Structure 1
């Protein structure tokens, strides 16, 4: 293949979204790291209008609002939801508290759409109820599965859609990184599978469609001090056409102490009948995600490495909010719809059933 043809192939890959709409007033709830450093920074860069902010602690909200030039700070999340200037509600809140805020927003006539944090709720039953209540209210409810907008995952999906890799055979996501577990997780009976694996399992659904079964095993993480069952997690999924995928969340990843050279990363690899793609997720290192691929069909079997300067954090979050605004503007379902997210929640639920019953669990066991 000539260098000119190969360059043309790369020019048709799009790691970041086109901003089609930035016209709706956003109110944000929560001022933890993910909102203060990621959501709001993404919206600032994209020119999305954030008009109000609230948190459980008003003083913290005022500090973040001053940082971003947000004019209005409400004393409570409920007051923000009642603010008639807010058209899109963006929630970054614990999953046990989030459903009540969503339901209040569904009753607010001025709120056109809601972007909820993941996991949407503590269990599948509550997620299904929220899906159905949003549909009955005629409101857009979207769930922030932001890994779908990571640049390497987006380009990988484009390669799969183009057929560069042929038919998928095997996929792996290998995480060896140490999350900062938020304090509210200590009171839950679900940890890594619901709060970290959810990124990877949803990304696998985005890439390969609906899995037919999952087998999940777990053990405790030696570093996590509070009681938990699912610390280190490994899940094997089977998809139609016999595609296999493995997702591993190693939240231990070895000693992390003075003098120990820790190796922290998230890597993925997809093998197809006509090519291979592999890459890294930049979140643990603060670098852009990467992708390199070789195709017997489009690269002459040579490895090609598209590049970009944007990051998962914060740039992927531009795509997440953009798809909500575009859905409002066009009266169409968002790409990250609650109906789709219920299927990711079902996959999480199936993983917990697999851990408890020590067996592969079919997704057909769940009535969605």
Structure 2
């Protein structure tokens, strides 16, 4: 046993727990010491499937005390994140957790207060940051290739027939999915939201009980405007799950379809200001990021941050701004008013 070895408790043994457990089992510096689930049969299935040598609990605190754990993977439902995170940190554990970091902003703020008081951290799974294409697009924007960004547009149109709880939610698109696109916008721009106006609705033909479509307009801290158009009941001509992006700046436009490599069209050198339409040149974004994609890449960053004694890229202090975008959009949609964030 080394000083930096992670003694892990996995809280929540549903579908996404497989990704987290598979990642932990590949690490030489980690061992799973307990599974926690309010339904013990769920935990037993996971224990048997992965041949884990660990105990099963229905509550987190006794699991931590019995196993001397120092890290909790929170893969529970959003309504449980607050209790899991604060219990873990108050009992000496860091937390790696699923999004959203909490069910509401008040809980999110309290999680940050507990983190500050205990010196423990919560890192949030925002897996769509971890992709060579979005990293290349971010570098293109932040290096000034298109100049100062003025408008950012993301289109998200898919028609998944999940069944189950999503089709019964009040705001399935914004609450369950849009946080990924909102977080991507923050990541690309290096900016946070200032205000939002959101119109949420349920289009004809929708198989969702709640509003499955939305248009959101955010003012960002860098002065740009981010416009999100999305639907989870759009049959045909689908975008990718990463959205379809257009970012316009002072000197040109960057494009990304969410699948291939991004590119930009920028004003060519030696172009005269009086020209009706300026000559443009196309610039490909070099793909230089070599990390693992998706969940694995985000978990790599989380573990690296723990080893280096720093806050992870998706630490709760950062991620609360992505949660604010979700909660602000819901508030605006219900009030019909612009919301200051």
Which TM-score applies when normalising by structure 1? 0.75
SS of equivalent residue, structure 1 residue 212: strand
Q: Which residue of 1 aligns with 2:246?
A: 269
Distance between the aligned counterparts of 1:199 and 1:190, measured in 2? 15
Q: Does residue 165 of the first structure (1) align with residue 146 of the second (2)? A: yes
The correspondence of residues 273-352 of structure 1 with structure 2, limited to 5 A, is 273-281=250-258, 289-294=259-264, 296=266, 301-304=281-284, 306=286, 315-352=293-330
Q: What CA RMSD, in Å, does the superposition of the two structures yield over aligned residues?
A: 3.2
The correspondence of residues 201-220 of structure 1 with structure 2, limited to 5 A, is 201-208=182-189, 209-220=191-202
The 1:346/1:263 distance shift into structure 2, 3 A limit, reads: closer
Distance between the aligned counterparts of 1:160 and 1:47, measured in 2? 37
Deviations 1:223-251 (A, max 9, x none): 4444x2x3211111122454122112210
Distance between the aligned counterparts of 1:73 and 1:159, measured in 2? 48
Aligned residues: 322
The 1:272/1:77 distance shift into structure 2, 3 A limit, reads: farther
Deviations 1:304-342 (A, max 9, x none): 26569999xx83222322232233222222221212222
Q: Which residue of 2 aligns with 1:15?
A: none
Distance between the aligned counterparts of 1:297 and 1:23, measured in 2? 52
The 1:225/1:237 distance shift into structure 2, 3 A limit, reads: closer
The 1:295/1:68 distance shift into structure 2, 3 A limit, reads: farther
Distance between the aligned counterparts of 1:39 and 1:179, measured in 2? 24
Distance between the aligned counterparts of 2:133 and 2:335, measured in 1? 35
The correspondence of residues 33-112 of structure 1 with structure 2, limited to 5 A, is 33-36=15-18, 38-43=19-24, 49-51=30-32, 52-78=34-60, 79-109=62-92, 111=93
Distance between the aligned counterparts of 1:159 and 1:77, measured in 2? 47
Q: Does residue 27 of the first structure (1) align with residue 5 of the second (2)? A: no
Deviation at 1:292, TM superposition (A): 2.4
Q: Which moved more, 1:81-90 or 1:197-206?
A: 81-90
Q: Which of 153, 175, 187 lines up with 2:134 in the alignment?
A: 153
The correspondence of residues 197-276 of structure 1 with structure 2, limited to 5 A, is 197-208=178-189, 209-220=191-202, 222-226=205-209, 228=210, 230-254=211-235, 263=238, 265=240, 266-276=243-253
Distance between the aligned counterparts of 2:167 and 2:57, measured in 1? 26
